[in-house]
Structure formats: C-alpha cells, structure tokens
Amino acid sequence: MLTTLLIVVVAFTASFLAVVTFRPMAIGLGLVDRPCSRKQHTGNVPLVGGLAIYTAVCLSSFLFVQFDTNYKLYLISTAFMVLIGALDDFHDLDAGLRLIAQFLIGALMVFGAELYISDLGNLFGMGTVELGPFGPLFTLLAVVASINAFNMTDGVDGLVGSLSITAFVAIGVLALLSGGVLFTEVPAMFFGAIFAFMFFNLGQFRGGKYKVFMGDAGSMLIGLTMIWLLAYSSQGSEAFIQPVTALWVIAIPIMDMVSVMLRRILAGLSPLQASRDHLHHILLFNGCSSQKTTLYIATLAVLFSIAGLLGQIYGISESKRLLVFVVLFVIYNGVMMRQDTKMMNHLKSRPFRLKPKD
C-alpha cells in the first residue's frame, strides 16, 4: 500500500511539473485548441495534458515497474498512440487515417505482445464463450472501440479525467483483492498523473490562468491503456476481472459511443462524423452547466463501476449482469433518441447555440 501511495505522489508531481513546462512550449508552437462551432471554450487552450500524463507514466514506470517484453511493447504502442494523438491535435488528421493508425497500434498489442481476448466468460450461462481464431480480430476491434470511446467523451472540462480515474480505481481495487502487483502500479500511475492534470483542466491552479486540455493524445492514450489492462487482467490463468465486469467498469464511454454511432447510422450519417450528440452535449442542451454535466456523468460512471465490482465480488452470474447491462443500454439509447428529436425540433424552430449556463 505504501508503494502504491508513493507511485501516486511521484506520478502526480511529474505530471504537474510537465504541464507547467509544456504549456508555454505548446503556446509557442501553436499546439492549442481554438474555439469553433463545436468547441465553445474561451481563448486558445494548450493541448498538453496528454503529453504530461504520458511523461509521468514513463517516469513512474522506470522507477517502479519491472519491465518484461509485454510492458516494453505497451510503452512503445502508447508512445505511437500519443504521437498520433499529438499530430491530430496539431493538424486535425482525417478520421480514416486515425482509424488506420489505431488498428496498426492495436496490431502491435495483439500480434507483438500476443495479448488478445480469447474468451468472453460465461456470458449466456452455458459455459465459457471461446473466440478461437476470431480472438485477435475481436481484440483489434475492441482496441479501436476503447480508444474512440474515451476520445469521444472528451468534450467537457474534467469529464474524461473523471471517467478514467473511476475505471483505473476499479481495476486497482480488483487487483488489490487478487494480489496482482502490476495492476496496482499502472492504475496508481494514471490516477496520480490524471489527478494533477485535472487541477489545471478544472481551473484550480492560479485561478484558471494555467488552464490546459488533455487533447487527443491523452484521451487516446487512456483508451489504449484501458483495453490493454482489461484484456490482460481478464484472460488466462491469472485473470482477476471477468469480461462482463470490464463492461461495467467502462460503461459510460462504451454506451455513449455505441449509442451515438447507432443513432448516426439510423439518421443516414457517417458514424465517424463529428457532431454534438453525445451525452454531455444533451445535458448542456438541457441547461446543465459544464461543472454539473461532469458531476452527473462521473457519478453515473461511479455507480456503474460499483455495480460491476459488487456483481463480481458477490458472485452474481455473468449472464444476469450482461442482461442487466443490455437492458440499461436499451433504455439509455431510447432516452438519447428522444433527446435527439427534441434538439432537432428546437433547432428548426429558432436559431440555437449550445452554451452551458454560467
């Protein structure tokens, strides 16, 4: 426990100092997020949160983690992910190009580290669902899904940070209960690094004068790390997370992404098209401030994670937990579809600009 707390402190300090160091450099290079029709913040905000988090994780890794081949490949794959994310932050890469890069980085995980999802657990109450030769392909799709799920939630101050901290804490708790050392170290690194970033992102340092955003580099780094940890910890003889529990741990990003893509397809739009139809946009449309939006969604994520952990700890069958998850998603998607209709009717009736209350 003392080692875990030390890792948190080191990662927090490294991330904090990295933000302070990188912020003026980003302004000089033009690595900033500029307001537009989809981004209604004030002024140009440096996109260095992800770079700071990755710097802290790398430093903490060299200090506290005993490297093996898989962990080396993890750091290499995340380095490429952060690079692609930073390029996207700077040049706004084509969505197709980002997808190709994500699949290639996922391939490094699946075929380089030979880490892939081989079974889905006893999802239907009839024995373990084995994926066989489809395991690597399924994992590649899961990698891309996780990366984009967290990337899509990055639309309100503190949101992706809150969601990822919740998920890392849940993984860390299950790791502690199982005695998995690596899986307390890595969540601890990210917890400390992201917590430091949120001081700046939420305007808690120097009255908001040092505000920064995470950027695609950070959200995609978190998404890749999340699927790497969940795949590693839910497969094999040393698994301590049931695959269905993983769904509950990252429920909000996954539900939001799948719902948005389904609704866009039903509307005849590209699922990759950027628009304001995510959960945080809906809450802003209904009059929530950005702070309340983050609080409400983060609270919902915590409840899902707690339900997932308790379900596994108390031995509730995987099939029952999957059924409840699917029912909740259907309800969620139905509510979101009605909100889409409400927003469209409002837009048709008079000019409208999404803006949170002060």
27-63, pLDDT tens digit by residue?
A: 998 899 876 555 554 568 999 999 999 999 999 999 9
The pLDDT of residue 35 is 64
pLDDT tens readout for residues 288-344: 999 999 999 999 999 999 999 999 999 999 999 999 999 999 999 999 999 988 877
Residue type, 10: V
Cβ-contact 123, 322 below 8 angstroms: yes
Q: Give the separation between CA 217 and CA 98, rounded to whole angstroms.
A: 12
Residue 206 is classified by DSSP as G
The pLDDT of residue 253 is 96
Q: Give the separation between CA 315 and CA 312, rounded to whole angstroms.
A: 5
| 176 phi/psi in degrees, rounded to 5 | -60, -40
Cβ-contact 220, 81 below 8 angstroms: yes
pTM of the model: 0.91
| Residues in the chain where the model's pLDDT stays below 50 | 41, 351-358
Strand intervals (E) in 28-169: 32-33, 45-46
The pLDDT of residue 42 is 56
